[in-house]
A and B are shown apart, each in its own frame.
Chain A
Amino acid sequence: MSGVRLLVGTRKGAFVLTSDGARKHWDVSGPHFAGWEVYHVKGSPVDPNRLYASQSSGWFGQLIQRSSDGGKTWEPVGNNFEYDGVAGTHQWYDGTPHPWEFKRVWHLEPSLSDPDAVYAGVEDAALFHSTDAGATWQELSGLRRHASGPAWQPGAGGMCLHTIILDPSNHQRMFIAISAAGAFRTDDGGATWRPINRGLHSAYIPDPSAEVGHCVHHVAMHRSRPNVLFMQKHWDVMRSDDAGDNWHEVSGDLPTDFGFVVDVHAHEPETVYVVPIKSDSEHFPLDGKLRVYRSRTGGNEWEALANGLPQRDCYVNVLRDAMAVDSLDSCGVYFGTTGGQVYASSDAGDNWAAIVRDLPPVLSVEVQTLA
């Protein structure tokens, strides 16, 4: 019997939501790590019972938790994230050099082939790797040592490496994104990196077309077409057809192209989802109406999906890692809000229902499709 398991990170703990393939009735377990911020929880693609969770707190710092039974039990593993060598400086809000300081893990990306291997994207922006199931972490410092590193600046949410995408067709290739430096790609397993921001235009930086400095909010890829990337930037929804070498805008007829999440249908690589947010200063849906927008044409032409979503007085946000899709025959789409709701659609977005309504603010949603 197939099923799905949602891994939900919130401001005050993690929750595991499970359902069978019908996705009508859900069991909710949690909070795990009650009282702690859980920025991200993600499972291994090769061993769905192996989960990794990023648990942090302003008081007690960063922990990494690992589960080997699908989230029923957890054990703390290594949490020592030391920058490689002399950390150096990046640019602070006032333009002065500021030492790189580890703050938290935003995103965990398990390997596509080894359940004991996992990447961690951290604030201040850097990429770490573990090959012993999270016991120890080593920085892939080629990224932070890129020549542009000293010029990187934090966005309003901090200088975070929040997106890690592994290329399923080329294990040497990986994409990451940093707010507010932009997107980068490695073609040699993380040793060296190049910015991939050509075509991005950001009016809020001195040179709107600069090589780095763009506030990329999230990037998504369909595993069957790893050269095609979709990006939700601070403003603008973007697309690349050449693995990030060039980008063009596909915001098209969206009512606003500010937002955080972007994701791709599990079986239709040209079907893309975003949740438009009013503006950079008003982080809530337009007109109090929560709507997912779907493009079946790879961008530009978008349709509003509102059936089952609140259409009045809704002023929540949907954060960058808080949308996911399952891979059941009828693709399920899920997203969480800062109001604590987790919405699910078992028909690719046509109809929505809340699985839960009153969790703490949702930071991340991942889904596992279980055999």
Chain B
Amino acid sequence: MIRLSLPAQLRRLAQVGSELELHVDGAATQRSVLDALETSYPMLCGTIRDQATKERRAFVRFFACGRDLSHDLPDELLPEAVASGLEPLLVVGAIAGG
């Protein structure tokens, strides 16, 4: 199980708590985790990554294990601590005013 933390706006949209668990088929990557997330919570499609290009939205960041993974390639393996469920993958709204 992958543990995932969403920002408050998306938690309200998906009607989930501060952290959710996802079953991911195959290797744990940003792409496979987001695929699993959007399958379980289709209302989140387009909110974290573009629906057509699958590129991360500019003001969304991915953090885990004290690192910024936002610029990692979508198919790079997530840290082992995330893949094993020891640490959550944090989806964060960037500091951008407003």
Contact among B45, B50, B57 with A59 in the assembled complex (CB-CB below 8 Å): B57
- A58:B46 contact, CB within 8 angstroms: no
Name the residue of chain B whose CB is nearest to the CB of A75: B43
- A58:B43 contact, CB within 8 angstroms: no
- B13:A63 contact, CB within 8 angstroms: yes
Complex contacts, A82 vs chain B, CB 8 Å = 51-52
Name the residue of chain B whose CB is nearest to the CB of A80: B51
Instruction: A59 to B93: give the CA distance in the assembly, Å.
Output: 6
Complex contacts, B96 vs chain A, CB 8 Å = 58-59
Contact among A58, A76, A79 with B98 in the assembled complex (CB-CB below 8 Å): A58
- B46:A76 contact, CB within 8 angstroms: no
Instruction: A36 to B12: give the CA distance in the assembly, Å.
Output: 11
Contact among A60, A63, A79, A80 with B93 in the assembled complex (CB-CB below 8 Å): A60
A186 within 8 A of B: no
- A63:B47 contact, CB within 8 angstroms: yes
Instruction: A60 to B94: give the CA distance in the assembly, Å.
Output: 10
- A61:B46 contact, CB within 8 angstroms: yes
Complex contacts, A3 vs chain B, CB 8 Å = none
Instruction: A192 to B8: give the CA distance in the assembly, Å.
Output: 43
- A60:B98 contact, CB within 8 angstroms: no
Instruction: A63 to B8: give the CA distance in the assembly, Å.
Output: 16
How many residues in B have their beta carbons less than 8 Å from beta carbons of A? 21
- B13:A59 contact, CB within 8 angstroms: no
B4, chain A: closest CB distance, angstroms = 15
Name the residue of chain B whose CB is nearest to the CB of A60: B47
- A57:B46 contact, CB within 8 angstroms: no
A298 within 8 A of B: no
0/1 interface trace, chain B 30-56, chain A, CB 8 Å (1 if under): 000000000000010111101110000
- B46:A59 contact, CB within 8 angstroms: no
B83, chain A: closest CB distance, angstroms = 26
- B9:A59 contact, CB within 8 angstroms: yes
Q: Restricting to B25-84, which residues have a CB under 8 Å from any CB of A?
A: 43, 45-48, 50-52, 57, 59-60
Name the residue of chain A whose CB is nearest to the CB of B48: A60
Instruction: A80 to B43: give the CA distance in the assembly, Å.
Output: 11
- B10:A60 contact, CB within 8 angstroms: yes
Name the residue of chain B whose CB is nearest to the CB of A82: B52
Instruction: A36 to B93: give the CA distance in the assembly, Å.
Output: 13
Total A-B residue contacts, Cβ distance less than 8 Å:
43
Instruction: A57 to B10: give the CA distance in the assembly, Å.
Output: 11
A58, chain B: closest CB distance, angstroms = 6
Complex contacts, B51 vs chain A, CB 8 Å = 79-80, 82
A62 within 8 A of B: yes
Complex contacts, B7 vs chain A, CB 8 Å = 59
Instruction: A282 to B50: give the CA distance in the assembly, Å.
Output: 36
Name the residue of chain B whose CB is nearest to the CB of A62: B46
Contact among A59, A62, A76, A79 with B59 in the assembled complex (CB-CB below 8 Å): A59
0/1 interface trace, chain A 35-46, chain B, CB 8 Å (1 if under): 110000000000
B65, chain A: closest CB distance, angstroms = 23
Complex contacts, B10 vs chain A, CB 8 Å = 60
Instruction: A194 to B29: give the CA distance in the assembly, Å.
Output: 49
Name the residue of chain A whose CB is nearest to the CB of B59: A59
Contacts A59-B93, A62-B46, A82-B51 known; 6 new A-B pairs at CB < 8 A:
A34-B12, A58-B59, A59-B7, A63-B43, A63-B47, A80-B52
Q: List 29 A-B contacts (CB under 8 A).
A: A34-B12, A35-B8, A35-B9, A36-B9, A57-B9, A58-B59, A58-B98, A59-B9, A59-B57, A59-B59, A59-B60, A59-B93, A59-B94, A59-B96, A60-B9, A60-B60, A60-B93, A61-B47, A61-B50, A61-B57, A62-B46, A63-B47, A76-B13, A76-B43, A79-B46, A79-B51, A80-B45, A80-B46, A80-B52
Interface residues of B (CB under 8 A from A): 7-10, 12-13, 43, 45-48, 50-52, 57, 59-60, 93-94, 96, 98
Interface residues of A (CB under 8 A from B): 34-36, 57-63, 76, 79-80, 82
Closest 9 CB pairs of A and B: A60-B47, A76-B43, A59-B59, A59-B93, A80-B51, A79-B46, A61-B46, A61-B47, A35-B9
